Amino acid sequence: MSELYDVAAIGNAIVDVIAQADDAFLATHGLDKGAMMLVDEARSAALYATMAPGVETSGGSAGNTIAGVASLGGRAAYLGKVAKDQLGDVFAHDMRAIGAHFDTAPLIGGPATARSLINVTPDGERTMCTFLGASVEFTADDINPAIIEAAKIVYLEGYLFDAEPARRAFAKAAGLARGAGRMLGITLSDSFVVERHRGALLGFMESQVDLVFANESEITALFETDDFDAAVNQIRSQVKLAAVTCGSRGSVIVRGDETVTIPAYPVDQVVDTTGAGDQYAAGFMFGLAQGRSLEVCGRLGSMAAAEVISHYGPRPMVSLKDLAASKGI
Amino acid sequence: MSELYDVAAIGNAIVDVIAQADDAFLATHGLDKGAMMLVDEARSAALYATMAPGVETSGGSAGNTIAGVASLGGRAAYLGKVAKDQLGDVFAHDMRAIGAHFDTAPLIGGPATARSLINVTPDGERTMCTFLGASVEFTADDINPAIIEAAKIVYLEGYLFDAEPARRAFAKAAGLARGAGRMLGITLSDSFVVERHRGALLGFMESQVDLVFANESEITALFETDDFDAAVNQIRSQVKLAAVTCGSRGSVIVRGDETVTIPAYPVDQVVDTTGAGDQYAAGFMFGLAQGRSLEVCGRLGSMAAAEVISHYGPRPMVSLKDLAASKGI
C-alpha cells in the first residue's frame, strides 16, 4: 500500500478546559503539579465548579501531535473516540480543519466527550485532571487497517494503557503496522502512567516499538532510577530510536551508539507548557518522515515545542511550516 | 432596596468560537469585516465546517462587559439565556467563576446555546456570524426584579432589539430600573443593529436611557450622517451621558456641555479586537459606579479595552483590578 500519511496516531480524544490557578489551588485540591490525574465525572464536575473562567480547546496528547504534524505540512491521520455531543463536534472540527484525516465514529448514548481540566500556574506548569468519558470506548473495531497500513509512522499514546479495550486496539494497530513494515512509535505520556503499567510498557517496547518519546520523569520512572544518564543508556539498548526531552535543557536523541543533544529553543516567556512534549514529537516525527537527520528532527521538535509553550493552549497558533521556513530548518 | 450590584446586565448569552482567517476567507463567504451578521443554524454549521481550528470561550457583548466589571472588583450580575447543554454549562461556569451573579434558568428542549463564529484577520479585526439559538428565548419572565432593582447601573445590549420577546424583557427591565431610580445604560452594539432598529432605538434612548455607549460606525449610522462630530453633538442632546469609542483614536465622552476626550492606551500588538467595546463599557461603568470622574471612567475603559485586544478572546486574561492599581488609576 502506498504511503498516504506521514504519521497516523491513536490517542484519547479530549477537549481541554484551560484556566489559570495558583499553587494554593493545587494544594487545596490535592493536585500534583505537572502531572495528569484521572478523575471520574463527579470529581471532574466538582473540580470544574471551583476553577477560574476557562477556555475550551481541542487537546489530547496524540491529537495535539497530529495537529502539529499537519501544521508542519505533513500528511496526518488521527484515530480516537469522541461522543456525539457539542464538545465532540468541536474536537472533530478542529482535527479536520487543520487538514488531518479523522473518521472514527463518534459514540452515541454513552459517556460525554472526554474533558481534561488543566490548571496553569504562573510558572507555566500545567496540572491536568482528566475525565476520560467517551475516549476509553475506543476499541479494536475502531482501528481502520487502511489508515494504519498507509502511514510511514504509527504513533501511540501511553495514556491508552489505562483502558483495557484501548490496549487491545493498541495491539491490533501495532500488529498491522509491523505487518505493513511501518515504523511504530510510542510516547510514555506521564510518569504515573509509567508507574501503573511499567511491565506492560517495557514488554511492548521491547517486542514491538521502534521509536520512543519520553521526558525526564517518565524515563527515570520507567527504569526506576534517579540517574537520568543511566536511564537514557537503558533505553538505548531497548529500542532502535528514542528521544528524551528535558524541559528547558533541551533533548537527547539516542540511536544505537549514536547520541545527539539538542538545545531547547529560547522562549521569551513560558505561558503554558501544555502540549510541549506533544509538539516535540510532532516536529521530530515530521522530520523523520521526510528523511531528515536526527539533528534536524530534534530541532524541529524543539521549535514546535517552543511555539506552543509561548501561549495558552496545546496546539500551534501559527503555521509551523512557515515558522520552520523562517528559521531555515 | 440596597445596592447589591454595581452593574446588572442583560444580553445574548453566547459562546464564541474564535479562529484565524484571511481576507480571502471573508470575501469567499461574503462577510463584512468588523461586523456581526446573524445566521441560522444551517448557515452557522456550514460556515463552521470551512473555518480553521478554533478556541471556544464564553462571550456575548454584555456577558463580556460583566466579566470585565467583575475583574475590576465590581459587583456584577448577568441575565441571559443559555440552553441546558455543554456550551451552556461552560457559559454559566465562566460567569460564576469570575464572581458574577447568574441565575437565569437554562432552556430545556429548545435550540442549542447561542454560538458566534468569530473570524479574526491578521489585522486583529473580528468578523462575527452569530447563531442566536437559545439566547433569543430570553423573555420578560426571566427578568428578576430583585436583581434589576438592586443594581446601580442596569445595562442593556442593543443586540437584544433583534428578538421581539427580548425587547419586551428590555422594556420590563427599563421600567423596573427607572422605578427604582437606577441608571439605565445601553450599547448600540453594531451598526447593522442600528440600521435595523433605528427608530425603536432612538425612541427608547430619548424616553428611558441615561447612558449610551457607541462606536464611530454605530453613532454615524444612528444619525444617518458621515460627520462624526455632528453625530456626537446630536447624541449630546438626546441622552444625559454618552461615551463614543473611535478605535485607536480613543474615545469622546459627552455630558451636557461637557466634553472629555480620552486617548487609547498603547498596545504593542493588536491581536484580536473582539470585546474591545465591551471592556471599554466595563471600565467606564465600574468607574461610574464608584463615583469617579468622567476622565477616570474613560481611562478605566481604555485600559480594559487595551488589555483585551492584546490577546485572543473577548474577556480579560489578567485581573483588571490589579492592572488598574499598577497603572495608578
Check whether B56 has a pLDDT greater than 80. Answer: yes
Partners of residue B120 in chain A, C-beta under 8 Å: none
- pTM for this one? 0.94
Calculate what percentage of chain B has a pLDDT beyond 90. 95
Question: Tens digit of pLDDT for each residue in A114-144?
Answer: 999 999 999 999 999 999 999 999 999 999 9
Beta carbons of B67 and A54 less than 8 Å apart = no
Would you state the CATH architecture of domain A5-12+61-108+135-326? 3-Layer(aba) Sandwich (3.40)
Quick one: closest CA in A to B94, which residue?
A53
How distant is the Cα of A93 from the closest Cα of chain B, in angstroms? 7
User: Do A93 and B55 make contact, defined as CB atoms within 8 angstroms?
Assistant: no
Do the chains contact at B90 and A52, CB–CB below 8 Å? no
- Does residue B188 sit at the A interface (CB-CB below 8 Å)? no
**CATH superfamily, region B5-326:** Ribokinase (3.40.1190.20)
Q: What is the pLDDT of residue B95?
A: 98
- Mutant choice from A20, A41, A47, A55 vs B, greatest count of B C-beta within 10 A: A55
Least confident of B69-73, B74-78, B163-167, B290-294: B163-167
Helix (H) or strand (E) holding B187: strand B183-187
CA separation, residue B254 to residues A10, B73, B234, B301 (Å): 60, 26, 10, 15
Distance from CA of B55 to the nearest CA of A (A): 5
Across the interface, do B53 and A313 touch by the CB < 8 Å criterion?
no
Residues 10-39 of B with CB under 8 A from A: 17, 19-20
What is the residue extent of each domain of chain B? 5-326
pLDDT reported for residue A3: 80
Residue B151 has pLDDT above 80, yes or no: yes
DSSP secondary structure string, B248-313?
GG-EEEEETTEEEEEPPPP-S-----TTHHHHHHHHHHHHHHTT--HHHHHHHHHHHHHHHHTSSS
* Cβ-proximal residues to A255 (8 Å cutoff; 6+ apart), any chain: A240, A241, A242, A294
pLDDT digits (tens, 9 = 90+) for A17-53: 999 999 999 999 999 999 899 999 999 999 999 999 9
Question: What's the pLDDT at B1?
Answer: 58
Of B49, B52, B90, the CB nearest to A56: B90
Distance CA A140, CA A144 (A): 9
Q: Which residues of A33-45 are buried (b: 16+ CB within 10 A; e: fewer)?
A: ebbbbbbeeeebe
Of B53, B86, B317, the CB nearest to A85: B86
What average pLDDT score do residues B191-213 get?
94
pLDDT tens digits, one per residue of B294-312: 999 999 999 999 999 999 9
Q: Do A87 and B86 touch (CB under 8 A)?
A: yes
Instruction: Give me the residues of A, 91-110, that contact B with CB < 8 A.
Output: 93-94, 97-98
| Residue A311 banded pLDDT, cuts 50, 70, 90 | very high
When pLDDT is averaged across residues A177-194 and rounded to a whole number, the result is 95
Q: How much helix, strand and coil, in percent to the nearest 5, is found in chain B?
A: 45, 20, 35
Which of the four pLDDT bands, split at 50, 70 and 90, describes residue A232?
A: very high
d(CA A118, CA A47): 11
Of A52, A54, A97, the CB nearest to B51: A97
Distance of residue B52 Cα from the nearest chain A Cα, in angstroms: 5
CA distance B219 to chain A (A): 33
